[in-house]
Structure 1
Amino acid sequence: MNRSTTRKHRTVLTLLAAVLSATAVPIVTPGPAEAATGGRACFFLDKEGAPIAGRTYGHVAWAIRDPKNTGHWIWGATEGYKGKPHIAAGDYNGSWIKGGTWADLRRSIRRDGHHKAGYYDAYRCIDTAGGDLKAAQRTFGHMKSNGYDIGFNNCLTKSIAIFRKYSPALTGKNLPDGQTVPPRNYFATTLDNARGWEKARTY
């Protein structure tokens, strides 16, 4: 990594730290099973994810429901690799995807072979009029191959890109940009100020 790139990442980390220090993850409460109809998109938060220089910036996974078969979901995440702040396009960036029922999703994200039980702490969702799983899967494929950057191309920004392809109705008003925003802050505060998102639920 060259000096200018290192300086850019230090600047991003400084900005992230300032935002994070002013924001707490909300207290969440249990909610009902995901049994409604139509499209649906959910963030899952690991509030202790992305530990950097003594701080935790948080990590998110994404999940979307098939509006034509509401018993079926697909979900995934990008987890980076060995703590690298930047990963070149084409290199492994820790992206994965799975599919199944809501119960499968819950079991998978709680214990998927890489993480301890209870890895994710909370989730929050938004309903959509419809959803295009194929478009979302194509976008996941692009996100899997386009590298990683801690501030501009990370677990959060990739999830947002997938959600927007799944439902173009998810615009800036209900799905704001996530660049340079710590995932913990986005989950806790940004979505509180966006339209349509349900309150966080314990996981």
Structure 2
Amino acid sequence: MAEKSTPKRTTLSVLAAAVLATALPIAVPSPAEAAPVGRVCFFLNEQGANGAGHVAWAVRDPKNTSRWVWGSTDNAEGDTATLPGHDNGSWSQSGTWKQLRGEAAGKKAISLRDYESYRCINTAGGDLAAAQRTYRNMKDNGYQVLYNNCLTKTIAIFRKYSPALSSKHLPNGQKIAPKYYFYRMLNDAPGWEDARPY
């Protein structure tokens, strides 16, 4: 025998359906409404700097996740210090992840021939303009092997991109070999993904 529908049960069913119909679009935001997601990545050349390691950097545009800005400081003079205003080998590009890797033409890449590993961390957002300003400010400020090098410049760019990357998540890199920092110090810093083959 079929169950009788009571007015109370019918009213509750109608109310529940109405709540679900109006609540679902609010509860599930569209990708355009989702919070911006930032991302920064280190790239490691293990044999760079006579085996101490060399790093390049990349930051993702939180408003357009297919766009990246990347670069490095390559110590153009090849010695332990470069005076401000002289070429320290800093460079930067922007484009897609495939362009960053050199899989698409037209950009200077973080070369797959030179870099073996990379590791990244997501951030709640990111200030791409602040990261680019920091890069420009450091481009001509020289080079010093212990205090103003590929690693310290990368850390400064990442911290301006996301102030949440404090010393807890991004330890100081002065007087530290980039390879040691990449493999040992980032292992102890919360949030960093494991190193992956590049």
TM-score of the two chains, using structure 1 as the length reference: 0.76
Following TM superposition, by how much is the alpha carbon of 1:82 offset from its aligned partner in structure 2, in angstroms? 3.0
Instruction: Name the count of aligned residue pairs.
Output: 162
Following TM superposition, by how much is the alpha carbon of 1:191 offset from its aligned partner in structure 2, in angstroms? 0.1
Q: Percent identity?
A: 56
Alignment-derived partner of residue 182 in structure 1: 177
Change (3 A) 1:202 1:115: closer
**Which structure exhibits the higher relative contact order, with contacts defined as CA atoms closer than 8 Å and separated by 6 or more residues?**
1
Alignment-derived partner of residue 130 in structure 1: 125
Matched to 1:39, the amino acid is: G
Whole-angstrom distance in 1 between the partners of 2:83 and 2:121: 32
Structure 1 segment 49-68 matched on structure 2, within 5 A: 49-51=48-50, 56-68=51-63
Change (3 A) 1:116 1:133: closer
Structure 1 segment 1-203 matched on structure 2, within 5 A: 38-51=37-50, 56-107=51-102, 117-203=112-198
Q: What RMSD in Å do the two structures reach over aligned CA positions? A: 2.0
1:36-76 residue CA offsets vs partner (Å, 9 max, x unmatched): x710000000000001xxxx100000000001000000000
Change (3 A) 1:64 1:116: closer
Following TM superposition, by how much is the alpha carbon of 1:117 offset from its aligned partner in structure 2, in angstroms? 4.8
Whole-angstrom distance in 2 between the partners of 1:201 and 1:40: 15
Change (3 A) 1:113 1:98: closer
Following TM superposition, by how much is the alpha carbon of 1:143 offset from its aligned partner in structure 2, in angstroms? 1.1
Larger Rg: 2
Q: Secondary structure at the match of 2:86?
A: coil
Matched to 1:102, the amino acid is: W
Which runs of no fewer than 5 residues in structure 2 stay unpaired?
1-35
Q: Secondary structure at the match of 1:134?
A: helix
Contact 2:120-2:192 within 8 A present in 1 as well:
yes
Whole-angstrom distance in 1 between the partners of 2:151 and 2:43: 10
Following TM superposition, by how much is the alpha carbon of 1:81 offset from its aligned partner in structure 2, in angstroms? 1.9
Following TM superposition, by how much is the alpha carbon of 1:182 offset from its aligned partner in structure 2, in angstroms? 0.1
Change (3 A) 1:171 1:181: same
Change (3 A) 1:196 1:114: closer
Runs (4 or more) in structure 1 with deviation over 3 Å come to 112-117
Change (3 A) 1:136 1:57: same
Whole-angstrom distance in 2 between the partners of 1:86 and 1:193: 30
Whole-angstrom distance in 2 between the partners of 1:46 and 1:124: 12
Which runs of no fewer than 5 residues in structure 1 stay unpaired?
1-36
